[in-house]
Copies of this chain bind each other. A is one copy, B any other.
Amino acid sequence: MNKSALQIARAAYQPKLPQALKGAVAITEGEATQSVADQEEIKKLFPNTYGMPVVKFVAASKAETLPAMNVGVILSGGQAPGGHNVISGIFDGLKALNKDCKLYGFLGGPSGLIDHKYMELTADIIDEYRNTGGFDIIGSGRTKLEKQDQFDSGIEICNKLGIKALIIIGGDDSNTNACVLAEYYLQKKCGIQVIGCPKTIDGDLKNSMIETSFGFDTACKVYSEVIGNIMRDANSAKKYWHFIKLMGRSASHIALECGLQTQPNVCIVSEEVEAKKMTLSQIVNDIADKVAARAAQGNNFGVVLIPEGLIEFIPEMKVLISELNDALAKESDVAKALKMISAQSLSVYNSLPEAIAKQLTLERDPHGNVQVSLIETEKLLIEMVKTRLAAMKAEGKYCGKFSALGHFFGYEGRCAAPSNFDADYCYSLGYNAAHLIANGKSGYMSLIQNTTKPASEWVAAGVPITMMMNMERRHGEMKPVIRKALVELDGAPFKALAANRDKWAIETAYVYPGPIQYFGPSEVCDQPTKTLMLEKA
Contact = CB atoms under 8 A, between A and B. Distances in A.
Interface in A213-233: 222, 225-226, 228-230, 232-233
A216 to B, nearest CB: 16
A434 interface: no
A128 to B, nearest CB: 12
Interface string A196-223: 0000000000000000000000000010
B9 A520 contact: yes
The size bracket of the interface on A is 35 or more
Given A134-B232, A229-B414, A232-B415, 18 more contacts: A2-B263, A2-B511, A10-B514, A79-B237, A132-B512, A134-B236, A136-B235, A136-B236, A225-B515, A226-B226, A226-B412, A416-B514, A417-B514, A517-B517, A518-B520, A519-B519, A519-B524, A520-B520
A478 interface: no
Contacts of A412: 226, 229-230
A226 B242 CA distance: 19
Interface string A411-427: 11111110000000000
Question: So how many copies of this chain end up in the complex?
Answer: 2
Nearest to A520: B519
Nearest to A417: B514
A229 B521 contact: no
A515 B514 CA distance: 9
B7 A512 contact: yes
Nearest to A527: B5
Contacts of A417: 512, 514
Contacts of A134: 232-233, 235-236
Contacts of A225: 515
A3 interface: yes
11 contacts: A6-B515, A6-B520, A133-B512, A134-B232, A135-B237, A225-B515, A236-B415, A405-B411, A417-B514, A517-B519, A519-B524
A400 interface: no
Interface in A1-60: 1-7, 9-10
A238 B235 CA distance: 38
A477 interface: no
A516 interface: yes
Interface of A: 1-7, 9-10, 78-79, 108, 132-136, 139-140, 222, 225-226, 228-230, 232-233, 235-238, 240, 242, 261, 263, 405, 407, 411-417, 509, 511-521, 523-524, 527
Contacts of A416: 229, 232, 514-515
A133 B520 CA distance: 19
A514 to B, nearest CB: 4
A45 B87 CA distance: 69
Given A79-B237, A134-B232, A232-B133, A3 B413 contact: no
**A133, A232, A516, A524: residue with the most chain B Cβ atoms closer than 10 Å:** A232
A524 B413 CA distance: 21
Given A134-B233, A261-B4, A523 B411 contact: no
A139 B511 contact: no
Contacts of A514: 4, 6-7, 10, 416-417
A510 to B, nearest CB: 9
Contacts of A233: 79, 134, 411, 414-415
A518 B6 CA distance: 12
A228 B415 CA distance: 9
A153 to B, nearest CB: 22
A416 B135 CA distance: 28
A394 to B, nearest CB: 21
